Every structure is written in structure tokens, then in C-alpha cells.
Chain A
Amino acid sequence: MVNDMNNFEKFNRIRSDADRNRLEISNETEVSGSNGFRFLHILWLYPDVLNIHGGRGDIMGLMHICNMLDIPVEIRRWDSMKEDIPYDWADMIYLNSGELKCAGDVAKAMGRQRAQLDAYVARGGYIIATASSGAILAKYTEKLDGSVVKGLGLLDMEWKERASVWGDDIWFKTEDGQEVIGNQIQVADVLLHAGQKPLGTIIYGRGNHGSFDEGARRGNVIFTSCLGPFVTKNPKYVAGLLADAAERSGIKVTKTLADDDIEIETESAKYIKNFMLDKMKNK
């Protein structure tokens, strides 16, 4: 049984103080570790447009994990695709899973300031996209009707819309040996071009196109098909990304996640992994 479920108090105090009219929230009142440096800046891009598969849970998870790591963080919503994106401000840009139909428009909006976007990526700024929003980072997506939608080309991959949807659990190991679990709802096959590294290697599931590859990563530009939400299900892995983004921004991160902090997520993972192991046995 889980003993320590009380560490959500900070998150919920922050949440209850911030209504929808606020475009930015921070954990200033809840962390002790501002260390005189600035806050980690997370840009939540187009939350209303990229709105499926419980993606907003990822952003809740980012705030919660920052609280546990004592990382001072500000999360800013960026709602309209017509407004210029504050690339100079951001340390991490998060693209929740959205419908494939929106990928082209989002890519256009992000690419309008191409020079700033490229500079952001070059300085190691994080961009994380989940599920169909990965198409925003791809070179292009070929739709079922034969049309081709251009992406940003930040990851060297192409997408091909599938005639049928594939939904299943997913379990993969990243290059640094961390295990990530969740679900996958795949509406397009993902084909990595030569030289483009995947994010991880499949233990269970379909991944990019039924091979052993899952996701893609180049520098700090990351695509994963993992849902769950990805962040709430995989706090340990995401904590590593957040700590790195914070260090790059000059924020000293002194804490790591204790086992107690993520006991409920760890217990959940045990059950889910066993479920997948059973499926592997019965295949």
C-alpha cells in the first residue's frame, strides 16, 4: 500500500489560487529553492487547440514534479496561434497531444518566427510533443486523401496517416536506460530517416511503425507517442528532463525524486507492466 500521498498539497494550493484568466502560474510560494536565480520557464503552447487524450495532465504533472524537485517554475499558457511566440522567454515548450488536423496550422504558427525557433533549439531549449502532435516536429505528413502537410522538420522523420487506428499500451527504454510506460493511440505511422535517433527501444507495444523504435529525439527536441498522461505516469524520467532544463537555465537543482514521492506512480507501473507481460506471454 501507498504511505505517502500527501505531496500533492503544494500542487493543489497553486492550482486553487489560479483561475482561467491567469496566463501564467508559478510555484513561488511553495518552493524554497529559487536560490536567487530565475524560474524555469515552461511554455504551454496552444492548450485549447492541442486538447485530446488528457494532455493537460502533462502540464499538471510538470508543475507537481517541479514542486517535488524544489525547482522554481513558471508555466505560461499561449493560446492564440496569431500571436508571436516568446521563444526568448522559454526553456521548455510543451505540445500536448492534439488532432492530426491541427498539426499543419501549429507548425505554421511556430515556424513564422523561424530564426527565433532555430536559435531556441540551438541553445538547447526543450520542445516536447506527444502523440499526433509529433507531426508538428516532423518534416511532413502524408494524409489519407493524398495531401501532404508540412511540419517544422526539427526531427528527421515523415508521417503517414493510417487507414485504421492502433491503440495499445506501450513500454520502452530510453538511450540512458530509463523505462517509460503509457498508452499509444496511433493515427499515423512514423518513419525515421537515416541518422534520426529514436527516443527509445520498444519493450512492449507498436512504437513508430511496429518495429523496435519509439519516438524520436534530436538534442532536446523530443517526440513520443506515449500517453498516460506521459508526464504523470513517468515522473522519474520527466524529472530528469526538468532538472536538465533547469540546470541549463542556471537553476541549481539539489533534490532528486525520493521513492516516497512517487510511490503511487511506482505501484501503478508494477500493475501496468504485469498486464503487459501477460500480453507478451499470451501472444
Chain B
Amino acid sequence: MSRIRFYAALYISKILSFGINLVAKGRGTNLPGSIAIKIDPAFISHIKGLDPDNTIFVTGTNGKSTTTNLMAHVFETAGIKAAVNLAGANLIGGAVVTLLKNVSLGGRLKTDVVLLETDERFLPIIREQLPAKHICVTNIQKDQVQRNGEPDIIWRKIASALDDDVTLYVNGDEPNALSLGRTAGKCVTYGVDKNSSSFDKEDDFFSVTMPCPVCHEPIVFDKYNIDNIGPFHCPSCGFGAAKNDYQAYDVDFENKTFCVDGAAYDFKYSTPYFLYCYVGALALAREFNIPEGKISKAFEDFVNVGGRMEDIVAGGKTIKYLRMKQENPETVQSAINVIADDPEEKLFLLGLDELVDFDPHYTNTFYTYDCDFRRLIASNVGRCICFSGTVAYDAALRMLYDGFDPDKLTILPTNDDKAIIDELAKYDINNVYLITWLHKFESLAEYAKAHM
């Protein structure tokens, strides 16, 4: 009976998946999987040839898509066939769809390995069905507080999915992720030495770090490579003092190279954020015994799906877009740091917005107080335009608290694309940066394209 259910689920979902792909390519990444599970709740465990020893989950707050994509490319380069959810469908339905695509009509997995980006909140549910023995946690940071609340809530969810069977790969420069090590059978750590992009927060009385996940006393970051990620230690209990298993050093952002254990690697995306993804993938690749030459070749020619920086041409100006996730201060800070590295005079568009991901929609901008705009402000900003239908004044207030010159500040309390582009056109500055959430960027890009 259970096999009948399984095959019914398999065929119906495959047909549905095919149909959706015909009507709207790229849509329906979760639906066929959800239906398969509805028909056969134990669908995953009924797939033949699924091997937990060759199954990897990549989870965490930031960087899981890039790390997954990079690792997939490493497997491909090494000639290892992998089932991967590259489209970012990272809930249980998405995982099932990925498997569906890689399962024969006889119900057998056709790939050598399974590599799944997994939503951190759903990791326990997914692992219950598919007991992967390799789990990579990129970091556990402040994010989507409307549903995640506090990082510790996510820490507990991930920890509940781990056991002695798991080999855990964690960013050893991120205290929350590293502290998961004690909940798994084996822990492989990776990190990055301080480098030319590293920074500290010593110039500010108001700077804060974070509580040690072990003893709750303050953590001390020797340097930050990304906000709240970098070489650290807890002066109170000594947590964080151990060396990482895989450590990137001699990082050269100009020539785009770094070294690990005496081997040099090229990397295309020269920001600290990407570097952690590379070293995380390297740790996984080495533990899977992938030959060095294949790893370095894969790193060299990796092209990420949807780069982080994209451009809009509007009003005779090229707007450099830096994607951020609302309610995620680390992504905002990374975007700020990129702009701050450009010494040329610039116009800065800041588009915070009300949050509409979940009900009820609300007006959170408090996460920006976890960020520091002062280095950006000191980097020759000729004009800052804060736009938003609801929270433009809050964004402006944030800039003023970090010392922005009020005479150079424009508050535009609207989300209207035309109004934003028209305002931009008033200023004789062509070096334009935009930080906003993806939906607003897409809307502005569409408007700009239509009014070229």
C-alpha cells in the first residue's frame, strides 16, 4: 500500500511539475512537492538510493544560497552528479521538488549526492524525513524578527535537528554558529583571517558586540570581517579561542586570491561576504575528498545566480543597487560598507519600507540602529534621499543620529517610482548608490526601463 501511495505521489507530482513548467517556467517551486507529501507523507524516505552519508544541508541566516550554489558548482566541476535546489526553494516542498526532478520513474535517485539549501526554521522537519549527515550552518544572525524573534530561537531550532550522526560545518568566526558544535557528533570549522577589509568599532562609545552563547558575558571581536563575524573570543569563558579547521589567510581583494593550508585560490566575488561562502564550500569539498585542482577550478569560474550588485539606468544616471534584506542588519551593514569604500562624491538613495512579508504588515526600522552609517557618511555623500511611503522620516532620523549633514538630506515620503527618479534627476551627481529591498529595486528598475 505504501509503495502505491509513493508511486501515485511521484507520478502526480511529476506531471504537475511538468505542467507548471509549461505554463509558467520557474514558478511552482514548492507546490508539486507539497502535493507529493500530502499523498505520501513519508515520500522522501520511500525514495530508493537516498544516502544520508551523501546528503548535505546548507542552512543559516545569510549566505546559504551562495554557499549552496558554489558547492553545487564544485560538485559539477568534479564530475559528481548532485540534486540541488538552486532556485532557493528551501522549504520541505522545495526539497521534495528537487528530489522529484532527480528521481527515476522507478523511484530511484539518479544523482551521487543531494545538496539542499534549507530554511533554518524548517531544518528539524526536513531532517526528520531526510536524515542528512552533513549540515553546514553559515551563521545565525538577526533576521526577520517578526517571525524569528531573536537569534536564540533559531539556534534552538537548528540544535534540535542535530545529533551525534551529524558532521557539522560551521562558520567559526560567528559565535552563535560555532556554539552549535557541541550539539553534533563532529564539528568542522572555517574562518577568515583579518584582512584589508576588516574593521573594528573602537571609535564609538555606542558600539556593542553580543553575548557569548556559552556564558552570556560580552564577546570581544579582535576584528570584524563582516558585521558580527570575525576572529573573536570570550574573555570570560575562553569560548572562540580555538583555531578553525579551515582558515583563509593572505586574502587579497585586489587580486582576488586567498590561501588555505598552503594552497592558493582565485575568487571572482571580492567581498568579505562571499569569501566566507568560498571557505565554507572549501571545507565541505575537502571533507568530501574532492581533488584540489577541481576545487580551485570551480572557484575560479563560479558565476553566482543573481549577483548582489546590479544597476539601473535612469535620468541619465547609473544607479548601483546594493541588495539588502529588511530586518537583517548584517546585510544592510555589508551594503553600507561597500558604498563607504568608494571615495568619490556620491548620491545615496535609502529606501526603507514597511514590512509586508507576513501579516500584519508593520513599520520596523529599528534594525538600522544595529548598523553604523558613519563611515558611509564620511565617504563624500553629496546628497542623501530617504524615500518611503511610510518610514522616510524614520530613515532620515537614523541618518541624522549618525551625523549626516541635514542640508544635504532630502526626505521623500512616497514610494512612487516617478517621484523618486525625478528627485534624483535634480542633483548633478552621477555616482549613485541605492540601498533598498528587492521588491522596490525591481519596481524602480521596471519604471526606469519603461521610461528610458
Q: Please report A residues at the B interface, Cβ cutoff 8 Å.
A: 1-2, 5-6, 8, 11-12, 15-16, 18-22, 25, 46-49, 51-57, 59-61, 64, 77, 79-82, 98-102, 105, 132, 164-165, 167-169, 182-183, 185, 187, 227-229, 232-233, 264-265, 267-268, 271-272, 275, 279
Contacts and interface: CB of A to CB of B under 8 A. Distances in A.
Contact of A167 (B206, B364, B402, B403): B364
Given A48-B210, A51-B209, A102-B216, A57 B401 contact: yes
A56 B366 contact: no
30 contacts: A2-B393, A2-B411, A8-B400, A8-B403, A11-B401, A15-B206, A15-B403, A48-B209, A49-B216, A51-B211, A52-B150, A54-B366, A54-B367, A54-B369, A54-B370, A64-B401, A77-B205, A80-B236, A101-B216, A102-B211, A165-B146, A165-B147, A165-B153, A167-B358, A183-B364, A232-B369, A271-B390, A271-B393, A279-B360, A279-B361
Residue from B151, B354, B367, B406 having most chain A Cβ neighbours under 10 A = B406
B354 A187 contact: no
Nearest to B397: A264
B366 A20 contact: no
Contact of B406 (A6, A53, A56, A80): A6
Given A21-B202, A183-B363, A183-B366, A99 B391 contact: no
B413 interface: yes
A211 B294 CA distance: 61
B304 interface: no
B204 interface: yes
A52 B149 CA distance: 10
Nearest to B404: A8
Residue from B363, B365, B392 having most chain A Cβ neighbours under 10 A = B363
B166 interface: no
B422 interface: no
B218 interface: yes
Nearest to A5: B406
Contacts of B105: none
Contacts of A22: 205
A53 B366 contact: yes
Residue from A46, A64, A182, A271 having most chain B Cβ neighbours under 10 A = A271
Contact of A16 (B211, B392, B403): B403
B360 A168 contact: yes
A191 to B, nearest CB: 19
Contacts of B329: 54
B117 to A, nearest CB: 23
B217 A185 contact: no
Interface in B383-401: 389-394, 396-397, 400-401
Contacts of B389: 271
Given A20-B201, A265-B397, A167 B218 contact: no
Contact of A268 (B210, B354, B369, B397): B397
B362 interface: yes
Residue from B364, B366, B367, B391 having most chain A Cβ neighbours under 10 A = B366
Contacts of A64: 401
A18 B217 contact: no
Contacts of B216: 49, 81, 101-102, 105
Chain B interface residue bracket vs A: 35 or more
A165 B151 CA distance: 12
A252 B148 CA distance: 45
Contacts of B142: 52
Given A48-B219, A52-B145, A271-B389, 20 more contacts: A8-B400, A11-B401, A20-B203, A20-B204, A25-B205, A46-B218, A49-B217, A56-B207, A56-B369, A60-B206, A60-B369, A80-B217, A98-B211, A164-B147, A165-B148, A232-B369, A267-B413, A268-B393, A271-B390, A272-B390
Interface in B56-94: none
B366 A167 contact: no
B319 to A, nearest CB: 24
B419 interface: no
B208 interface: yes
Contacts of B367: 53-54
B217 A81 contact: yes
B145 A53 contact: yes
B368 interface: yes
Residue from A46, A183, A187, A268 having most chain B Cβ neighbours under 10 A = A268
Contact of A15 (B147, B204, B236, B360): B204
Contacts of B208: 47-48, 51, 56
A182 to B, nearest CB: 8
B409 interface: yes
B152 interface: yes
Nearest to B147: A165
Contact of B390 (A15, A229, A275): A275
